[in-house]
Structure 1
Amino acid sequence: AFVWLLSLLAASLLWWLAVRLSGRQDAALLLLGAAGAVVLQELGRFGCFKMLRRADRGLASLSEDGRSPISPRRMAYVSGLSFGITSGVFSITNILVDSAGPGTVGIHGDSPYFFITSAFLTMALVLLHTFWGVIFFDACERRRAGGLGLVLGSHLLTSGLTFLNPCYEASLGPILILTLCTGLWAFSTAGGSFHNVLKCLSCK
């Protein structure tokens, strides 16, 4: 979570410098700012992976059997979940504040589904960060540049789709589909299978 906050700070400084140097705040600059924020988040995820790997080696050297007490997949899941929760909190806080204030949303013709759509988008963002964490760490472990590129590409796509709001049919639908597909990908990456799901449901 702290690493994500550092990436947010870096993105804020980048945006401030871009506005200062260009003297404008048009759509193109906003798109570049969003893309830069995504890249910084993924760089932060990579830095988190490197730090956790170093800590994992330290724990392994201290253990009696030479093995780390924490599995890499568990670290990936916890890291992704912390990224997602922190990102979701920052995404939804201002919206929750507006919902408690005077009823201004919709007064200028805004969608009445603003709050419920924002909740679904935040949910998708939390899940996506969790899935991306699992996939990203696995790709780093196996040195698969393709997996890293797909994580970055899907993150950029998700961020770009939010610019289609308030046309929620064009943004929310594809993001939820992307969340489902990424979840299946992460499940497969973590070693999951349909057979394992059946065993879990049958309590065997």
Structure 2
Amino acid sequence: MTLMEFFGCTFIAFGPPLAMFVFTIARDPLRVIVLIAGAFFWLLALLISSILWYAVVPLQNDLAFGLVFSVIFQELFRFLFYKLLRRADEGLQKVSQTAQTENVTPKDISNKHIMAYVSGLGFGIMCGAFSLINVLADMVGPGTIGIHGDSRLFFLTSAFLTLCFILLHTFWGVIFFHALDKKQYVVVAGVVASHMLVSCLSLLNERTEHRPEPLYLASIVPAYFIMILMAVVAFFMAGGSLKNIQNAFKCRKGRYEME
């Protein structure tokens, strides 16, 4: 039973991101490099957060303290990665012109939304891996889910929240980069605020003296609502429109009729 739960939660959390990687990134070596670089920058943010948490001994038992500064450092390193990519645009253009492979094209590099999407997915995948890997290790067994009075929804909730954060980081990357390109600093602040809000919602899953039972629904429902909102905003910022959606449905309908 625990093994089945392990594979189920793994596919819930990492199935959609894996599909996104395979169909949109894996064939392009430049995108793979940007993805790995984005993941590395998230690791740097985690390292700085860990150093601060380790240095401030009196607040080590306060999860909210570490969470707030973790979000701040993640967004700071997202900004630094944005600056790095923009400075590398000229060099990437030269690489694309001399590359012999068909996968690296000037069009791919000049589309800044693609790089924002890839870097955001890199942030999200690394964030999801560190969030869930220990939970998955305990999930394999031996034992039974819900033993010692713990909720049987803990693993499932962790998987869905991990998926939510991976997708949110992807959407946040697109919105964050576009807002900086257009100098829309209010939108940048909105990304940071929404990141802080969703992260603080995860504190509802913690047991405390005043809250003996975790509030899983109170954290998942608002988090997924914010995720859908961020997805819509990222879609339109990346150049999408209602007309594009209508054309996509028409093309799919035409293919079904031809078959």
Deviation at 1:61? 5.8
The equivalences for 1:82-121 within 5 A come to 82-103=122-143, 105-121=145-161
Amino acid at match of 2:220: L
Please tell me the root mean square deviation across aligned C-alpha atoms, in Å. 1.8
Instruction: Sort the Cα spacing of 1:152 and 1:110 in 2 relative to 1 into closer, same or farther, 3 A.
Output: same
1:16 paired with 2:54, answer yes
Query: Out of 97, 110, 114, which is 1:74 matched to?
Result: 114
Q: Which residue of 1 aligns with 2:7?
A: none
Question: How many matched pairs?
Answer: 197
Deviation at 1:200? 1.3
Query: Out of 115, 128, 142, which is 2:168 matched to?
Result: 128
Q: Which residue of 1 aligns with 2:232?
A: 184
Tell me, in whole angstroms, the C-alpha distance in 2 between the residues paired with 1:159 and 1:62.
Answer: 38
Moved more, 107-116 or 126-135: 107-116
Q: Which residue of 2 aligns with 1:46?
A: 79
Q: Could you report, residue by residue, the CA deviation over 1:115-168 in whole angstroms, capped at 9, with x for unpaired residues?
A: 111111011001000000000000110111101100000000011000001211
Unmatched 5+ residue regions in structure 1?
none
Q: Could you report, residue by residue, the CA deviation over 1:77-108 in whole angstroms, capped at 9, with x for unpaired residues?
A: 00001101111111110111011122264223
Q: Could you report, residue by residue, the CA deviation over 1:21-62 in whole angstroms, capped at 9, with x for unpaired residues?
A: x2x5443xx212111000000011001101100111223467
Tell me, in whole angstroms, the C-alpha distance in 2 between the residues paired with 1:196 and 1:174.
Answer: 28
Tell me, in whole angstroms, the C-alpha distance in 1 between the residues paired with 2:217 and 2:108.
Answer: 45
- What fraction of aligned residue pairs are identical, expressed as a percent? 49
Deviation at 1:68? 6.8
Alignment TM-score, normalising by the size of structure 1:
0.90
Query: Out of 165, 177, 181, which is 1:137 matched to?
Result: 177
SS at match of 1:202: helix
Higher RCO (C-alpha 8 Å, min separation 6):
2
SS at match of 1:203: helix
Deviation at 1:18? 1.1
Q: Which residue of 1 aligns with 2:9?
A: none
Moved more, 48-57 or 97-106: 97-106
SS at match of 2:148: coil
Q: Which residue of 1 aligns with 2:41?
A: 3
Amino acid at match of 2:90: R
SS at match of 1:34: helix
Deviation at 1:193? 1.4
Q: Is 1:60–1:68's contact at 8 Å kept on the other side of the alignment?
A: no
Moved more, 53-62 or 5-14: 53-62
Alignment TM-score, normalising by the size of structure 2:
0.72
Amino acid at match of 2:45: S
Q: Which residue of 1 aligns with 2:186?
A: 146
